[in-house]
Amino acid sequence: MPIDVDRDGDVIVARWGDGENRFNLDTIAALHAMLGELELVSGPLALVLTGDGKFFSNGLDLDRFAGNPDEFAATAEAFHRLLGRLLVFPAYTVAAINGHAYAAGAMLSCAFDHRVMREDRGYWCLNEADIGLPLTEQMASVVLARLPQPVALEAMLTARRYAAHEAVAAGIVEEAAAQSAVLGAAVARAAIAATKDRKVVTIHKRIVFSEVARSCGWIEVQQP
C-alpha cells in the first residue's frame, strides 16, 4: 500500500495514495507501521495525513470483505486501535481532507487534532444508516469525543453529507480551503504546533483521550 512520507521542516507529510484509500488489514498495518516509526522520532514534530485525488478515504474495504468475510472482525479491531493510537499520538496531527471522507474515513478524521477540508468538492459523511452497517461502540466513542454531540448524532442517525462550509459551521472540521491550498493550510497549521513542547502536548492529549483510546484497545497510552 503506497504511503509516501516526506519531511517539510518539522512536519511529516504522509500521502496515502491507494485509490479510494479503503481500510483493510494491509492498509491499516501500513498506517500503524508509519505511526510506529514516527513515534521513535525525537525533537519537534507534527504529522499531516492526506489522500490523493477524489478521496481522503472511502471507509472500510467492503469489496474485500465480500470475498474474505473472516477478515471483518480483525479489521474492525485493528481500525479501533488505529483510532485510539491517533487520538493520543505523541505529536500534533492534522488531517488534510482532500476529497470525500466517508464512513471509517470520516471517523479517521475525528482522531486528528485539526482538520482542513477541501471546499469545492467532497463530502464528510457517516453513511452507516444508509448501508446498514452500524458503528461499533469504539467508533462511536471517537466520534462523540471529538464532535459536538448534536452534530455527531445527526451525522450518525441521518447519514447527512456535509460539504466543507457545512462541516466548518457544524464543528466537524476547523478549516476549509481550495483544492490547491488544502495541504498547504494543513502543513502551516502543523508547523506552528510542531514548535510546542511535544511532551506537554502528549500529556494533554492523554488527559483528554486516554479513556477512549483504551476502549479502542490502544493500551500503550500508559507509556511516559
> Could you list the pLDDT tens digit for every one of the 224 residues in the chain?
579 999 999 999 999 999 999 999 999 999 999 999 999 999 999 999 999 889 999 999 999 998 888 999 999 999 999 999 999 999 999 999 999 999 999 999 999 999 999 999 999 999 999 999 999 999 999 999 999 999 999 999 999 999 999 999 999 999 999 999 999 999 999 999 999 999 999 999 999 999 999 999 997 765 54
In angstroms, the CA 82 to CA 3 distance is 15
What is the pLDDT, as a whole number, of residue 223? 52
In angstroms, the CA 20 to CA 31 distance is 15
What is the pLDDT, as a whole number, of residue 26? 96
Of 31, 30, 28, nearest in space to 72 by CA: 28
Pair type for strands 55-57 and 100-102: parallel
What is the pLDDT, as a whole number, of residue 224? 44
Which residues partner with 16 through β-bridges? 3
What is the pLDDT, as a whole number, of residue 51? 96
Three-state secondary-structure class, residue 164? helix
What is the pLDDT, as a whole number, of residue 220? 75
In angstroms, the CA 185 to CA 19 distance is 23
Task: Kindly list the distances between the CA atom of residue 222 and the CA atoms of 6, 46, 211, in Å, as whole numbers in the listed order.
Answer: 29, 21, 11
From the CB of residue 66, how many other CB atoms can be counted at a distance below 10 Å? 9
- Report H helices in the chain: 25-39, 62-67, 71-87, 104-110, 128-131, 137-146, 149-158, 164-170, 182-194, 198-215
Of 105, 1, 124, nearest in space to 50 by CA: 105
Name the superfamily (CATH) of residues 3-222.
2-enoyl-CoA Hydratase; Chain A, domain 1 (3.90.226.10)
In angstroms, the CA 38 to CA 201 distance is 15
Give the DSSP H or E segment for 92.
strand 92-97
